[in-house]
Structure 1
Amino acid sequence: MNTPLAERLRPQTLDDYISQSHLVGPNGTLTSHINQGIIPSMILWGPPGIGKTTLANIIATTSKRPFYTLSAISSGVKDVREVIEKAKNSGGLFTAKNPILFIDEIHRFSKSQQDSLLQAVEKGWVTLIGATTENPSFEVISALLSRCQVYILKAFEKSDLEALLKRAIEKDEFLSKKNIKLEETSALLRLSGGDARKLLNIFELVVNSDVKDMITITDAMVLEKVQNNTVRYDKTGEQHYDIVSAFIKSIRGSDPNAAVYYLARMVEGGEDVKFIARRLLILASEDIGNANPTALVMANTTFQAVTTIGYPESRIILSQCATYLACSPKSNAAYMAINHAQQLVKQTGDLSVPLNIRNAPTKLMKEIGYGEDYKYSHNYENNFTSQEFLPKEVSNTRLYEPGNNARENAQRDFLKSRWKEKYGY
């Protein structure tokens, strides 16, 4: 049989579709849209082998729409325009039968390619379904993103992957002829990296390599049958998230050796330099913050530099930044402060801003007290005067607590003196 197992088992209906209940379950976000055939343009975002293409096919089949598909890897602007013309002729106006244009790996489309989709989506000539493994906020142009709903597909749980294996044993025409016992699944799940397509293909390889009618699947057997059992870095799979996590935690833990090692793993795996630089930029603020404000400047400069240069030279810039950040003092005080502040806002709602610090651009506002009694700090000794800036309902609230490092110790001493002058303690 030439057709891969993953393709033979591809679900044809929502009843056969495993996982993503938050989207296509009984109360899922997409369920009512699919059942009614009223489908918005959308971006399906999730790891590889999670069912993005399958879901697009099911949506088209269930809603009985013409279905056109393109791959961003091999298609250009000309291909996009040709498909749009076909779609216009088969559908035309925005109706329940509006054609669906599915674009796999839409994040690989250039700006001009994405621009070529805008009119078709806005005019309703097609309903766009794009699939991506990358954050669409970074990889899809804002004009196109604003015309689409973004739906996040979650990684498979262990139970989902095991259910796929059992389905293969029970329902596949060829595997069901063999007596297969799943005694252990850890090796299969680990080698697949959570990718259902890869899982089924490895499983088929293991089963087909054994000529016996009765086969017991164990971890040792799987590792023996799969020659290349060393998991390589996959920039869109589980290894992607594991390596990035190790990279960030190594820098957070002030270990430049581990940091540059995991950086090398990503570089050798062909990871997007902008992705690495974005992670460094976030870390510089989240984990270093005011302990060393220069870290944020360094990370931002790194992002700009690698965006301009690319591989292979950008590896040097990334190494410099990663080791610098690893050797910097650490503080998450700013990160914790905004978390506490957001929690307070959610709990207390839209509290009134004190009148004395409100803006008063009109005569009426001045007459009703806007800006009245505001004390301009620079007019007072030490550039400080006691006045309350928080709403009265949450006055005296401390949200920012400086970290324990040289720079923030100085901040703490400064704030303590101001607090004592302001509240008397």
Structure 2
Amino acid sequence: MRPRTLDEVTGQDHLLAPGAPLAALIASGHLPSLVFWGPPGVGKTTLARLLSTVTDARFLTLSAVLAGVKDIRAAVEQAQAILPQRTVLFIDEIHRFNKSQQDALLPFVESGALTLIGATTENPSFELNSALLSRLRVMVLKALDVEVLEGLVRRALVDAERGLGQSPGALPDTVLRQIAEAADGDGRRALILLETVVAGQSAGVALDEDGLQRLIGRGLRRFDKQGEQFYDQISALHKSVRGSDPDAALYWLARMLDGGCDPGYLIRRVTRMASEDIGLADPRALPLCIAAWEAYDRQGSPEGELAIAEVVVYLACAPKSNAAYTAYKAARQAVQNGGTADVPMHLRNAPTRLMKDLGYGQGYQYDPDSEGGHAQTQTYWPDGMAPQTFYQPVSRGLEIRIAEKLAQLRARRAGR
């Protein structure tokens, strides 16, 4: 059922509709080197084949899983042997090439000895080196939506030449819809599921809820444990917590757990959220994260995942403040911009007689013994360094009270 013409390609109108980027390149007759980036089963290989056809180019293909520099050179020799006819070299899983293998492509792409089309499921920004990426145009392919997949399986069901050659009513519309939904954007998976359902029906499996569950199985969602989808989803979880949306936060937490993400990683990141986004607006958030972490360590999955979910909801509902986080970054910047300032003598430790004789610790005022528990005239900054203000509490949660107390202390220290 692979499309035989560009008109048969569906689901990528943003590239192939009149005036769209890929359609414009085809119309111009100029085919530059490209990289197709998208999830599995959306037509990356198909588009590469069709582009070679419409540009009257020879089509060579390599898999980066198996090929090496020797194979690249052999492909270039084949391309040069048929000049001036154009050659399209399609490299599937191009992100699996290491740096030296990618570098081996550079002179041939640069000289125009061949037109390179790479296919990848990973973000080219991270997986392709900058020298190669600068010579390629990136085309982003989208996952196929349910309507496109439903149309695909419907055509495959009745196509007598390349499909299953069944009658139009061989499968109910509801079953075709379930197949399309279970495929989760992957055309290849949709066709495999269609074959499975038709074979099961022929074997006498009833296409009721239980029968379809056995044939189709549990739907699988796209996820990777190291690539862009992983970091996109943890970003969505973090921003949902920061945006005080507990329902969205739970959704992204469940998505990551469903994809096989390590719950230990998740609770570590959630604990960071407590310090970064809630801070002293609700100081209970951090110890609750530690408690959830301990609960997960003791219970494991799936029982311990509930503790993570509970604390995610709490953080999303808590008042937000990044004042402590911002203050810490400002303090680090001040340290990096300054020299090695000595600790003032009155703040130094004096564990030995010699150090006391040298003046270590002399003049220190013990705050608990001072009036109001605060030595108002004492400074805690290096000599010659003007006091700075890093921490600015926000007017939310407990930091409202903290701000009031700090204002009093700073006014006293300034002699106001």
Q: Which runs of 5+ in 1 are unaligned?
A: 1-8, 270-275, 294-318, 335-380, 385-400, 416-425
Instruction: Return the index of the structure with the highest Cα Rg.
Output: 2
Q: Give structure 2 stretches of 5+ with no counterpart.
A: 281-304, 324-385, 408-416
Normalised to the residue count of structure 1, the TM-score between the two structures is 0.57
Q: Compute the displacement of 1:230 (Å).
A: 3.1
Within-5 A mapping of 1:84-163 = 84-91=76-83, 97-163=85-151
Distance in structure 1 (CA, Å) of the matches to 2:69 and 2:53: 26
1:285-336: per-residue Cα shift (whole Å, max 9, x none)?
9x9756569xxxxxxxxxxxxxxxxxxxxxxxxx9xx99x9798885879xx
Amino acid in structure 1 at the alignment position of 2:15: L
In the alignment, does 2:192 pair up with 1:198?
A: no
- After superposition, residues 53-64 of structure 1 pair within 5 angstroms as 53-64=45-56
Cα displacement (A) at 1:78: 1.5
1 CA distance for matches of 2:253 and 2:394? Answer: 26
Which residue among 212, 234, 248 is the counterpart of 1:222?
212
Please list the CA deviations of residues 74-128 of structure 1 after superposition, one character each: whole Å capped at 9, or x if unmatched. 1112112211222222236xxxx43111111111111111111111111111111
CA distance in 2, matches of 1:100, 1:207: 37
The residue aligned with 1:169 is 157
For residues 124 and 209 of structure 1, the distance between their equivalents in structure 2, rounded to whole angstroms, comes to: 51
Change (3 A) 1:76 1:235: farther
- The alignment yields a C-alpha RMSD, in angstroms, of 4.9
| Count of paired positions | 303
User: What is the SS of the residue equivalent to 1:209?
Assistant: helix
Which TM-score applies when normalising by structure 2? Answer: 0.58
Q: Could you tell me how far apart the structure 2 residues matched to 1:171 and 1:14 are? A: 18
- Check the 8 A contact 2:62/2:92 in 1, yes or no: yes
The answer to whether structure 1 residue 65 and structure 2 residue 53 are counterparts is no
Matched, 1:79 2:79: no
Q: 1:162 to 1:140 in 2, by over 3 A?
A: same
C-alpha distance in structure 2 between counterparts of 1:283 and 1:130, whole Å: 40
CA deviation digits over 1:150-196, x for unaligned, max 9?
11111212111111112112324352344513331343134322211
**1:344 is matched with which residue?**
none
Matched residues in 2 for 1:43 and 1:34: separation?
15
Alpha-carbon distance in structure 1 between the residues aligned to 2:144 and 2:70: 36
Distance 1:190 1:74, change over 3 A: same
Partner-residue secondary structure (3-state), 1:48: coil
Secondary structure of 1:180's match? coil
CA contact (8 A) 1:103 1:130 kept: yes
Q: Secondary structure at the match of 1:53?
A: helix
- Note if contact 1:186-1:219 (Cα within 8 Å) is conserved in structure 2: no
**Cα offset, 1:134, TM superposition:** 0.9
**CA-to-aligned-CA distance 1:183-226 (integer Å, 9 cap, x gap):** 3134313432221101111101211232389x996655432334
| Equivalence for 1:341 | none
Q: Please give the alpha-carbon distance, in whole angstroms, between the structure 2 residues aligned to 1:78 and 1:132.
A: 21
Seq. identity, %? 32
Q: Give the 3 Å change call, closer, same or farther, for CA 264–29 of structure 1 in structure 2.
A: closer
Task: Quickly say closer, same or farther: Cα 1:26–1:182, change in 2 above 3 A.
Answer: farther
| Cα separation, partners in 2 of 1:263 and 1:163, compared to 1, 3 Å | closer
State the partner residue of 1:32.
24
- CA distance in 1 between counterparts of 2:62 and 2:404 reads 57
Q: How far apart, in 1, do the equivalents of 2:198 and 2:117 lie?
A: 35
More divergent stretch after superposition (151-160 vs 240-249)? 240-249
- Map 1:173-184; keep pairs closer than 5 Å: 173=161, 175-178=164-167, 179-184=169-174
| Contact 2:33/2:116, CA 8 A, preserved across alignment | yes
For 2:39 and 2:198, how far apart are their aligned partners in 1? 26
> Partner of 1:67: helix, strand, or coil?
strand
Do 2:33 and 2:109's aligned partners in 1 also have CA atoms closer than 8 Å?
yes
Q: CA deviation at 1:48?
A: 0.6
- Does the residue aligned with 1:134 lie in a helix, a strand or coil? coil
Secondary structure at the aligned position of 2:165 is classed as: helix
Distance in 1 (CA, whole Å) between partners of 2:253 and 2:387 is 43
SS at match of 1:113: helix
Residues in 2 aligned to 1:130 and 1:147: alpha-carbon distance in whole angstroms: 12
Q: Is the 8 A contact 1:42 1:148 kept in 2?
A: yes
- The answer to whether the aligner puts 1:266 opposite 2:260 as a matched pair is yes
Q: Displacement of 1:25 after TM fit? A: 1.1
Partner of 1:51: 43
Q: Secondary structure at the match of 1:266?
A: coil
Contact 2:321–2:396, Cα closer than 8 Å, also in 1: no
